Amino acid sequence: MAQEVVNSDEVVLGEEIDHVRLITLNRPRHLNVISSKVVSLLAEYLEKWEKDDKAELVIIKGSGRAFSAGGDLKMFYDGRNSKDSCLEVAYRMYWLGYHIHTYKKTQVALVHGISMGGGASLMVPMKFSVVTEKTVFATPEASIGFHTDCGFSYILSHLPGHLGEFFALTGARLNGKELVAAGLATHFVPLEKLSDLEKCLISLNSGDENAVKAAIEEFAMEVQPDEESVLNKQSLIDECFSKDTVAEIIKSFEAESTKEGNGWIGPVLKGLKRSSPTGLRITLRSIREGRKQTLPESLKKEFRLTINILRAIISEDVYEGIRALTIDKDNAPKWNPPSLDNVGDEKIDQVFQLFEEDLELQIPEKEEHRWDGKYENSPYASLKVTD
């Protein structure tokens, strides 16, 4: 088979092996976090291969011990004093998110290790997503003053009951078995068999969905969540996380924590109370809106939220959260406002405010123009040139 490999020092590797295309996220020392360059290369490969009749199957994996830990938080922090320094990468990521969800070729994600936030947006929407006993998923953005993004305000809100609110607000982790049970992954394959599965899929040399599914099932195991899994606590989660406000959710959750057999709630509750009040309020509203939105509507909303949060129009919590977690690593953020009582509805409304139509994320409505709406054709690109 003909094999074309790009520069192995690149942050995303693209290989063309007859009818198979292989993407490797290649920042192992940084847990394959998603930078501006990563997003640009992913978009370039995926558009090229969707339009290439010879390309039938696209496989994506991460190098090292992680799939992807999500967005590059240092990139956001370093840009805090430069106007809209991360607008381009946010625009490109959410625009790409739509194309990943609606991709025309068969995709398989081979996911080991950490798959969090934006990194998981390269896993969950795939036709086939394969996880292992080492896979760890979470959407912990609210805890640092951000919001559940990259399509997850849509994805999580469509989980059964109020699991969406629970995972978005608490950043609770799911393992491989739980991901399959929750419908966020399609197959569980033991890590020791993952490289053999990859070789098998490359040898299959086909994008036929039934053939790909059968190949994966040769390696897959039937799994169930462990007895203590949060997925087995859904009635309690629904009772608490269906409440109207974050404050009421915490109060209800706190009441349940005192009951026999609910010792698991303590650490989760502690994390919830330490999270950014502003981030929690934005996230709850976003998840609730996502339940009634289409995917494009959710992505457009998430783009607005991201830009307004990074512009710090109501709070600088996101930068304080990143500082405490990854810069100074003191894990002692000083939130402003410091409590839920001080985060007014009118402030939250500001973050959700619509942009002028041409400044919204441009998601193509017509199939024949599905790769239109790129950042470079948006007003933001020309504004950047004139700044």
Catalytic residue (one of 14, 118, 151, 164): 118
Q: Is 266 a catalytic residue?
A: no
- Which among 16, 72, 88, 141 is annotated as catalytic? 141
DSSP string, 237-262: HHHHHTSSSHHHHHHHHHHHHTSTT-
The average pLDDT across 87-95 equals 98
User: In this structure, is residue 266 part of a structural domain?
Assistant: yes
Phi and psi at residue 249, to the nearest 5°? -60, -50
Mean pLDDT of 242-267: 97
* Among 149, 165, 178, 320, the one annotated catalytic: 149
Active site residue 149: yes
Residue 5 counted as domain residue: no
Within-domain flag for 342: yes
Identify whether 321 is a catalytic site residue. Answer: no
Q: Give me the catalytic one of 71, 117, 171, 290.
A: 71
Position 7 in a domain? no
71 is catalytic: yes
From the list 368, 300, 351, the residue with the least C-alpha distance to 97 is 300
pLDDT tens for 263-303 read 999 999 999 999 999 999 999 999 999 999 999 999 999 99
Per the CB < 8 A criterion, the answer to whether 56 and 20 are in contact is yes
Domain that holds residue 290: 12-384
**How many independent structural domains does the chain possess?**
1
Taking only the tens place, the pLDDT of each residue in 361-377 is: 999 988 889 999 999 99
CATH code of the domain covering residue 169:
3.90.226.10
For residue 244, being part of any structural domain is answered with yes
3-state secondary structure of 292: coil
Computed from CA positions of residues 378, 379, 381, 382, in that sequence, does the dihedral angle turn out positive or negative? Answer: positive
Going from the C-alpha of 286 to that of each of 147, 272, 283, the distances in angstroms are: 8, 17, 5
Asked if 147 and 141 count as a contact pair (C-beta separation under 8 A), the reply is yes
3-class SS at 83?
A: coil
Work out the average pLDDT over 331-353: 97
In a domain, 182, yes or no: yes
pLDDT per residue over 95-139, tens digit each? Answer: 999 999 999 999 999 999 999 999 999 999 999 999 999 999 999
> Would you say residue 4 lies in a domain?
no
Q: How confident is the model at residue 7 (pLDDT cuts 50, 70, 90)?
A: low
